[in-house]
Structure 1
Amino acid sequence: MSKRILLVITSLNGGGAEMAVLRMLKAFNAVPDTSAHLISLSQKNDYQDVDPEMVTMLPIANSKSLDSFFKRGKVIQLLQQEVARLEQEQGAFDVIFSHLEVTNVIVAAANFHCPVFYVHHNSIQQELLCAKERGPFKYFKMKQRLKALKNKDVICVSKGSASEFTLPWLPVKSCQVIYNPFDAEEIIAGSQEGGNPYPDRPYLLHVGRFGRAKRHDRLFEAFAQLTGPEVLVLLTKQSSKLTKLIKRYGLEDRVIVAGFQANPYRFMKHARCVVLSSDYEGLGNVMVESLLIGTPFIANDYPHGAKEVLGHWRPEWLAETGSADDLARKLAQLLQQPPQAFQWPDAELFSHVHSANAYLALINKAT
């Protein structure tokens, strides 16, 4: 029996969750007798090759505060109207997958008729801790968003993230783990397009938006301790705050801000090393992509994802959480003794086919 699947996300901003959703959309539509559609709650989009036949973007320009008192009702109504239109034209959806906290609030309030699963991409504890550091209002707002998952069917992108769903104020109906999908052939092909972006300068690479959780301050503190010829390339959008932070560490001549890249893989392929300095990630998509390409990385041993990706294979690639000094030491060691060509033994667990099959098994059980 054919299946109709709807994915919903806040925006198509250039982040890991957004890329994972686009990959899942493609993976679903490659399965016989299965069709999937994606709705973005806003017009925010960093990807130029999105297929309008598969993706609808609601007529809301900015993705900020979509669940606020002033916007929430309008967003819910627009989403309900778009789902009704799609179902009238193409048939009823069998299942809906909601991605990210703001989307979860909107989808939960929309009261759709079919089964809904809420995909959690982050760490509850770390999200709340980060919000608390920004003040009581931010903490309260994040906690209220997370409460949209109460008594819901939840999918987590790592075992570590799933282990947090034991909080007494956040009981869920069910919780299971399905890793984000990665198409190794597509990623490797992308890494071979365009050649080395900096052929005359050896470089380290960091991929990720400029935000508190990514800890660019720790990244710069660690990189400033290195004395080799490498520069640090950031695949993130330029901003005045980022420029000030680079200047604070005296790295104006050693850091290149290359902006968001729809194809980061050629940058990964030619980097001496990929580095992740985050306090937390739901999984760590950049690590998986780097391993598939064959580029080593150094990452903070943050609570969720890092050990699941590496297992016991390369523990020396994980730095002590919160320590810029250990991050610098691990980077220096890797640069002095770069690994030989390697093949990651757990690649199949993170393949798009594996993820799609896990989702489809879940759909068949639910419908």
Structure 2
Amino acid sequence: MKGIFVINSLSGGGAEKVFSKLLQLVDSDQTKNYSLEVVVLDRDVEVYQLPSSVSVHYIDSPLGVIGQILKFIRLVQKSKPDFVVSFLFRSNWYNVIAAKLFGYKSIISERGSPNARLTGKFVTWKKALIRSVYRQADAIICVSKGVGDCLVDDYSVSPSKIKTLNNSYDFNDIAKRSLELETVSNHEGYILAIGRLVKLKGFDDLITAYAKSNIQRPLLILGDGDELENLKQHAIELGVQERVAFPGFVSNPYPYMKKAFCFALTSHSEGFPNAMVESMSLGVPIISSMTDGPIDILEPSANVADESFSKAKFGLVFNPRDIEGLQKAFKELESNHALYNELAVLSEERAQNYSECKFYSTFKQITKDTVPGIV
């Protein structure tokens, strides 16, 4: 048997990181009964490495999407896979198209709420395309229950196709690498945020809430992206530029996590936040917006009241874009030492639910349920 794994690129994002880890686990599985190939749509700066034993095909094309689809179809026709696993929407789209032509089993993976893509022009067309693609897949791996619920409720996907597979982590490696001397900060006890510097991550709200809270401990935002200069200017306008640092993308963020006072997630939409769980494994308390992935992880008991925040089972939560709620959460964690210590312990405890062993056994079961004869 043969399987192909497809992703848009291997640049520095959460989906790419999970894809790389999954390939390493699949490649090292001596019990599987299929060979493995990888397809990467775009040549980009490759942050994450794939196993050296795996054949990798790049199908970037000067003709754009149409050229890539044609290349992918020719590759699949030649390779004759029994199944294809894809990550991210464009790869999912190509996967479903080719599956209809050649009859293999298509397993697509949704890493965030598809509703987050419904911005800008052609919203109706985008929603129709998402609905068409996802309804035709044989199985859909969703990073959280909330993402699966969204596909069922908003895109009429059959619940039987939805498979939840949370991300996984090597906690021993995280603990070991957190002791490396990679951090450039002389401070400890800063507020930490990590992610692509794009509008969807809500870093402008984070800086605003931080400035309004008047907390003197520094704010560090790790990551690269198009919004960097806008965020720097925003910090200047609010008078906190001396306390807000942008170290950029860091290959080993774990020393930063270990020294953090808390981890703040302000995304407007979030499938499953890797950096948040990694921080939790190092005993860092969490403040997070109420989006699909964080809801699964932190387990809030109910919706947050407007203009406020609440204590979930494993962290503090606030409504997305609610600057006042985030500001109050900062102040509560700063002033309530008993709460801080409680959440530090609970963070580490909760993170252990997301082990690599559990992740891979769930993935294997999904493939067995979808692809006849696979082991």
TM-score, normalized by the shorter chain, greater than 0.5 = yes
Matched with 1:155 is: 141
Given the two structures, how large is their TM-score scaled by the length of structure 2? Answer: 0.82
Match of 2:72 among 79, 98, 110: 79
- Helix, strand or coil at the partner of 1:237: coil
Give the letter for the 2:273 counterpart.
G
Distance 1:84 1:125 in 2: 33
1:292-345 deviations in whole A, cap 9, x for unaligned?
A: 12211211122x122211226635511233311111121222233232652534
Distance 1:48 1:121 in 2: 17
Matched with 1:8 is: 6
Match of 1:272 among 256, 261, 265: 261
Instruction: Give yes or no for contact 1:101–1:146 (8 Å, CA) kept in 2.
Output: no
User: What stretches of structure 2 of length at least 5 have no aligned partner?
Assistant: 301-311
Match of 1:127 among 104, 117, 121: 117
Output aligned runs, 1:1-367, within 5 Å: 4-34=2-32, 36-47=36-47, 49-54=49-54, 56=56, 58=58, 60=60, 70-82=63-75, 87=79, 93-111=81-99, 112-128=102-118, 131=119, 134=120, 136-137=121-122, 140-141=125-126, 143-152=128-137, 153-167=139-153, 170-172=156-158, 174-194=161-181, 196-200=183-187, 202-237=189-224, 239-302=228-291, 304-311=292-299, 314=313, 316-336=315-335, 337=337, 338-339=340-341, 342=345, 344-365=348-369, 366-367=371-372
Matched with 1:67 is: none
Instruction: Give yes or no for contact 1:156–1:175 (8 Å, CA) kept in 2.
Output: yes
User: What stretches of structure 1 of length at least 5 have no aligned partner?
Assistant: 63-69
> Aligned in 2, Cα 1:202/1:349: closer, same or farther, shift over 3 Å?
closer
Return the offset for 1:80: 4.1
Instruction: Give yes or no for contact 2:38–2:56 (8 Å, CA) kept in 1.
Output: yes
Instruction: Give yes or no for contact 1:99–1:119 (8 Å, CA) kept in 2.
Output: yes
**Across the two proteins, how many residue pairs are aligned to each other?**
347
Return the offset for 1:100: 0.9
Residue identity over aligned pairs, in percent, reads 22
Return the offset for 1:160: 1.0
Return the offset for 1:202: 3.9
Distance 2:49 2:87 in 1: 21
Distance 1:212 1:325 in 2: 19
- Helix, strand or coil at the partner of 1:199: coil
Return the offset for 1:263: 1.7
Instruction: Give yes or no for contact 1:72–1:106 (8 Å, CA) kept in 2.
Output: no
Distance 1:278 1:27 in 2: 29
> Aligned in 2, Cα 1:197/1:332: closer, same or farther, shift over 3 Å?
farther
Instruction: Give yes or no for contact 1:123–1:164 (8 Å, CA) kept in 2.
Output: yes
Instruction: Give yes or no for contact 2:5–2:85 (8 Å, CA) kept in 1.
Output: yes
> Aligned in 2, Cα 1:5/1:186: closer, same or farther, shift over 3 Å?
farther
Give the letter for the 1:318 counterpart.
V
Return the offset for 1:282: 1.0
Matched with 2:305 is: none
1:72-122 deviations in whole A, cap 9, x for unaligned?
A: 23212333455567x4xxxx6443211111111122222354311111111
Matched with 2:308 is: none
1:25-66 deviations in whole A, cap 9, x for unaligned?
A: 12222322336443221112341644454362515389xxxx
Instruction: Give yes or no for contact 1:156–1:178 (8 Å, CA) kept in 2.
Output: yes
Distance 2:96 2:44 in 1: 22
Distance 1:226 1:274 in 2: 16
- Helix, strand or coil at the partner of 1:164: helix
Distance 1:44 1:221 in 2: 33
Distance 1:143 1:241 in 2: 33
> Aligned in 2, Cα 1:273/1:109: closer, same or farther, shift over 3 Å?
same
Given the two structures, how large is their TM-score scaled by the length of structure 1? Answer: 0.84
Instruction: Give yes or no for contact 1:274–1:290 (8 Å, CA) kept in 2.
Output: yes
Distance 1:257 1:57 in 2: 35
